Amino acid sequence: MKRTAFVTGGTGFVGTHLIKELLKRDFFLNLLVRDRNKAEKRFSSDKINILEGTIFDVEKFKDAIYSSSYIFHLAALTKALKKSEFFETNVNGTKKLVEIVSLKPENFERFVHISSLAAIGPSKSIDRMEFMGPVSTYGKSKIESEKIVREILAKNLFTIIRPPAVFGPLDMDVYKFFKSVNNGIVPLIGFNEKLASIIYVKDLANGIVDAALSENTRGKSYCLSYEKFFTWKELGQIAAKILGKKPVYIKIPHFFVLVSGFFNGIFTKLIGKRDIFDFDKAKEIIQKYWICDSTEAKKDFAFKCEYDVEKAFSETVEWYKNENLL
C-alpha cells in the first residue's frame, strides 16, 4: 500500500534529511514549504507535491493533509527576535495543524511531532534521568506544543521525538563548534566537565521514520541519541583529529557566556537579525547534563545509531569543506 505523508519544515536542516529518508522508504510526500524555489532546488522527485505556505496556512491544504496517512511536523522556530514569536509558531502553529488532524482522525496512521530535549531540560544528575524542565523560552514553547498534541489527539495517534544536539551536513549551529576547532580552539564552558547527548542527523531521520511505522510507539515520547554521553573536550578531540589540528582547550567562565549572550541578544534585536546565541541560549549552554536515554527507543523499535561518531564527524566535516565553510 502506498504511504503518503504531509511534512512541515521539510527544507530545514533535519527536515531535508527526513525527506531523503522518506523517499528511500517509497513515501509520496505533500511538502509544506515557505520557499518553493528552495524546495525545488533541494529535492528532485516525482514523489513530492510542493505546497507553498507557512504553518498558519494549513487550512488551505486540507485536501493534501487528509490524503496523507502520516504527518511529520517539524516546522518550528529555534531563534526569534521576540519571545512571543516562539509561542506563536511553535505552539499556535502546532495547534492549527493538530486541530485539522483531529477532525478526521480515522484518516491517519500517525502524527509524529518533532520536539526537542530542550522541552524537558537538562538532567539533574548523570545517574538518573530526572529532568529540570525547560530553561529557555524555546524549550518552554516546545513543551507547550507537546501538551497541545497530547490534549487534542487520541493517544494511539501520536508519537513525540525529542532530539538532543543534532549535527551533520546542512547544520549551521553546531557548525560554529567545528569552525572553532578548525581555527585551533576548543571552547569548554565553565570549569567543571559537562556531558551532552548528541545525534547524527542521518541516524535521527532514520529513527523518526522507524518510530512512525512502529505500533509500539503510539502515545509515547522518545529521545534518540548515541548511548554514550560526551564531554565537549572529547568531541573537540575527535573533531581535531579529523581536521588535522592540535587545538588549545580554553575554559570559558559561565559569567562570560551569560554576559556575551545577553549583549549579543540585544545587538541582534537592534539590527533585526535572528541569532541562536542570546541570553536564553547562554542559560542552556551552561547547564551540566544535557543528556537523555534512548533505551525505550531501542526496546520499542530497535533504534540504534548506524554511524559511529568519528564517521559521522568525518561526513560532516567533508560537507563543510565542500561548501567552503572550513
Per mean pLDDT, which range of 22-36, 117-131, 274-288, 311-325 is the poorest?
Answer: 274-288
In a domain, 277, yes or no: no
In a domain, 184, yes or no: no
In a domain, 103, yes or no: yes
Q: How far is it, in rounded angstroms, from Cα 177 to Cα 287? A: 17
In a domain, 133, yes or no: yes
Position 1 scores a pLDDT of 56
In a domain, 287, yes or no: no
271, pLDDT greater than 80: no
In a domain, 239, yes or no: no
306, pLDDT greater than 60: yes
Q: Name the residue with cell 506544543.
A: 145
For residue 81, what are the CA distances in angstroms to 165, 173, 262, 283? Answer: 22, 17, 13, 17
Kind of pairing, strands 195-196 and 230-231? antiparallel
Ramachandran region, residue 246 (left: φ > 0; alpha: ψ -120 to 50; beta: rest): beta
Average pLDDT over residues 258-274: 79
H or E segment at 141? helix 137-152
Counted domains in the chain = 1
Alpha helices in 154-200 (DSSP H): 175-182
Q: How far is it, in rounded angstroms, from Cα 3 to Cα 20? A: 15
Which pLDDT band holds residue 159 (cuts at 50, 70, 90)? very high
In a domain, 242, yes or no: no
For residue 259, what are the CA distances in angstroms to 100, 252, 266, 283, 292? Answer: 43, 12, 11, 10, 28
Across the strands, what pairs with 158? Answer: 111
What CATH number corresponds to the domain at position 52?
3.40.50.720
Q: How far is it, in rounded angstroms, from Cα 139 to Cα 137? A: 5
Rg for the chain (alpha carbons), in Å? 19
203, pLDDT greater than 80: yes
Kind of pairing, strands 3-8 and 27-33? parallel
Q: What is the four-CA torsion angle of 133, 294, 284, 183, rounded to 10 degrees?
A: 180
In a domain, 267, yes or no: no
Position 262 scores a pLDDT of 77
* DSSP line for 84-96: HHHHIIIIIIHHH
Position 323 scores a pLDDT of 96
51, pLDDT greater than 60: yes
Q: To the nearest whole number, what is the mean pLDDT of the chain?
A: 94
Owning domain of residue 205? 3-164+198-225+292-306
Which pLDDT band holds residue 265 (cuts at 50, 70, 90)? confident
